[in-house]
């Protein structure tokens, strides 16, 4: 029996070390960090395009945070994956429960290829070669990981020790797993030639994974099974039961299962590693992005509007304005419309401390951008002051905001592009470009784009309270809960 290859894209995580570009509501897997207009999630979904023709492919399963469901669905559709299944984690429980949810949803004979959504592969052809080798091993019931051929002593990764060579030296039994080493031990690992970086990529048949979980992590499996048995299908989404999944222990694929396999003859599942040399990076911090971007003659990597004078071995990243440096070495400068980061390239792992401090100060910059994405489009808070706020709002063709009301603010809408269908109290009417309407405080209202091009409006809010939680929803196309008017977690639109 030939088992189909089923990509499982693990799309959780907040990417705090890539702040300010990556934030909780729009983390790095949804960003185009290399400036090619393709997000990391889309790049991961496309990574198997052109894989060996004789390997049958199944539609991907994406396991992601419930808060990111519309963003993930939209990006997958834009990448041509209308048939993807999205499994929504109510809470984060690490990669082992995420893969278990996917295995329970999948055909039990499918071969799962677990891929984090925030990795980079620059040589896809070599990845495909490694996938073919691993697929043959997984066909017969082995559990396979991919070990990155180490290019340098690296203290930020775990390592895999190779055992006996199999498949003509194209794969190896796994001798052991090693934690992140200090520099001296990392140097010994690389010099020995027996160690590979642990990539976080895995391949295993769904039924074999569940069998291993039943023996090694029965409590985790039972919680996942209960959450899927009580799950609800909502549009394109599978929603595991919140309470059941919240009871699931949190653990990674490595710790929960893989590290128990070497020498475990009773389980009867062989642990294998396939070496991979495909320009891999997990983009864990800004120095990793500097590694994968092209460099100028002085070793600088650039993205956006940048200018480097007497600057070497640095990363300059701009989203909205010119970033210029003079006389700098080994620094990272990142500009977004609402934050600027300057850090020594050797200290980029410590960026997460900034996020922790912002959270401690209860500042929204830790979690949200000035530009906020919604299932209907996005808005950008371009100006504000005491008792007023100005937003640029873009609504996708055919989309609409919720039918809503505000207790503390009035709104003035001006259409600058496209056609708007406006519900304002008991009236419904159309507005064209350069036309406007006023929404008095307390009026029920809705904004809809009935056209075939994006609708763009400028919204001017005025009132005594302008925070995002002053909203009461009466109807919502996207199934979002109707919140209490103030003090809730409701958000605009």
Mean pLDDT lowest among 109-113, 131-135, 369-373, 451-455? 369-373
Q: For residues 44 and 9, is the Cβ–Cβ distance under 8 A?
A: yes
**Residues contacting residue 192 through CB under 8 Å, at least 6 positions apart:** none
- Residue 493, pLDDT > 90, answer no
pLDDT at 36: 75
The model's confidence at residue 17, banded by pLDDT at 50, 70 and 90, is very high
Structure tokens at 107: 């055909």
**Average pLDDT of the residues in 29-57:** 89
Give the percent of the chain with pLDDT over 90.
84
pLDDT single digits (tens) 233-256: 987 799 999 999 999 999 999 999
Cis amide bond preceding 336, omega within 30: no
- Whose CA is closest to 63, among 6, 132, 120? 6
* Average of per-residue pLDDT values in the chain: 92
Q: What is the largest distance, in Å, between two alpha-carbon atoms of the chain?
A: 76
Q: For residues 171 and 137, is the Cβ–Cβ distance under 8 A?
A: yes
Q: What are phi and psi of 357, to 5 degrees?
A: -70, -40
- Looking up tokens 């830790």 gives 366
Distance, in Å, from the CA atom of 365 to the CA atom of 342, rounded to the nearest integer, reads: 16
Q: For residues 258 and 213, is the Cβ–Cβ distance under 8 A?
A: no
Distance, in Å, from the CA atom of 77 to the CA atom of 80, rounded to the nearest integer, reads: 5
Work out whether strand 388-395 and strand 420-424 pair parallel, antiparallel, or are unpaired. Answer: unpaired
Structure tokens at 433: 């470009």
pLDDT at 481: 60
pLDDT single digits (tens) 245-293: 999 999 999 999 999 998 787 788 999 999 999 999 988 899 999 998 9
**Residues contacting residue 362 through CB under 8 Å, at least 6 positions apart:** none
Distance, in Å, from the CA atom of 49 to the CA atom of 53, rounded to the nearest integer, reads: 10
pLDDT at 490: 42
pLDDT at 15: 80
Q: For residues 81 and 105, is the Cβ–Cβ distance under 8 A?
A: no
Distance, in Å, from the CA atom of 455 to the CA atom of 447, rounded to the nearest integer, reads: 10
Distance, in Å, from the CA atom of 405 to the CA atom of 470, rounded to the nearest integer, reads: 8
pLDDT single digits (tens) 466-489: 988 888 999 988 876 654 433 333
The model's confidence at residue 316, banded by pLDDT at 50, 70 and 90, is very high
**Average pLDDT of the residues in 140-164:** 93
pLDDT at 165: 94
pLDDT at 491: 46
Secondary structure (3-state) at 314: coil
Distance, in Å, from the CA atom of 343 to the CA atom of 74, rounded to the nearest integer, reads: 33
Distance, in Å, from the CA atom of 257 to the CA atom of 260, rounded to the nearest integer, reads: 5
Could you give the domains of the chain? 5-281 (3.90.550.10), 286-360 (no CATH), 371-475 (2.60.120.10)
491 or 428, which is more confident?
Answer: 428
Query: 95-105 vs 206-216: helix axis angle to the nearest 10?
Result: 130
Q: What are phi and psi of 16, to 5 degrees?
A: -65, -25
Alpha helix ranges (H) inside 108-182: 124-139
Mean pLDDT lowest among 7-16, 294-303, 435-444? 7-16
Structure tokens at 297: 């003659």
**Average pLDDT of the residues in 422-427:** 95
């Amino acid at each position: 029996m030939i088992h189909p290859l089923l990509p499982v894209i693990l799309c959780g995580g907040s990417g705090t070390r890539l702040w300010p570009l990556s934030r909780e509501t729009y983390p790095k897997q949804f960003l185009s960090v290399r400036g090619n207009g393709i997000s990391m999630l889309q790049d991961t979904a496309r990574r198997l395009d052109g894989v060996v023709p004789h390997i049958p492919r199944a539609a991907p399963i994406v396991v992601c945070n419930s808060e990111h469901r519309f963003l993930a669905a939209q990006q997958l559709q834009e990448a041509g994956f209308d048939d993807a299944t999205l499994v929504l984690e109510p809470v984060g429980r690490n990669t082992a429960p995420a893969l278990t949810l996917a295995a329970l949803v999948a055909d039990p004979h499918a071969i799962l290829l677990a891929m984090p959504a925030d990795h980079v592969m620059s040589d896809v052809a070599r990845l495909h070669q490694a996938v073919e080798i691993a697929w043959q091993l997984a066909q017969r019931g082995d559990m396979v990981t991919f070990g990155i051929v180490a290019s340098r002593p690296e203290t930020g990764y775990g390592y895999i020790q190779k055992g006996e060579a199999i498949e003509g030296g194209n794969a190896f039994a796994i001798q052991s797993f090693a934690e992140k080493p200090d520099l001296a031990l990392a140097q010994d690992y690389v010099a020995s030639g027996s160690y590979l970086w642990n990539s976080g990529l895995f391949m295993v048949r769904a039924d074999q994974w569940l069998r291993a979980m039943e023996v090694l992590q029965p409590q985790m499996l039972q919680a996942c099974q209960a959450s899927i048995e009580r799950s609800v299908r909502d549009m394109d989404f599978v929603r595991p039961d919140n309470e059941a999944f919240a009871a699931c222990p949190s653990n990674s694929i490595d710790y929960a299962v893989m590290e128990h396999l070497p020498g475990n003859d009773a389980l009867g599942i062989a642990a294998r590693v396939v070496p991979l040399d495909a320009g891999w990076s997990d983009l864990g911090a800004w120095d990793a992005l500097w590694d994968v971007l092209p460099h100028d003659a002085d070793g600088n990597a650039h993205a956006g509007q940048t200018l480097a004078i007497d600057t070497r071995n640095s990363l300059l990243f701009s989203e909205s304005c010119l970033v210029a440096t003079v006389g700098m070495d080994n620094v990272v400068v990142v500009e977004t419309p609402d934050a600027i980061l300057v850090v020594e390239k050797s200290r980029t792992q410590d960026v997460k401390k900034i996020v922790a401090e912002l959270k401690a100060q209860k500042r929204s910059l830790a979690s949200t951008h000035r530009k906020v994405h919604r299932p209907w489009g996005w808005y950008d808070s371009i100006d504000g002051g005491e008792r007023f706020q100005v937003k640029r709002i873009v609504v996708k063709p055919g989309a609409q905001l919720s039918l809503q009301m505000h207790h503390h603010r009035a709104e003035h809408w001006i259409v600058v592009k496209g056609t708007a269908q406006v519900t304002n109290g008991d009236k419904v009417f159309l507005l064209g470009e350069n036309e406007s309407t006023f929404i008095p405080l307390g009026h029920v209202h809705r904004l809809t784009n009935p056209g075939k091009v994006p609708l763009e409006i400028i919204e001017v809010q005025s009132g005594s309270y302008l925070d995002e939680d002053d909203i009461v929803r009466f109807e919502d196309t996207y199934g979002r809960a109707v919140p209490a008017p103030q003090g809730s977690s409701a958000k605009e639109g």
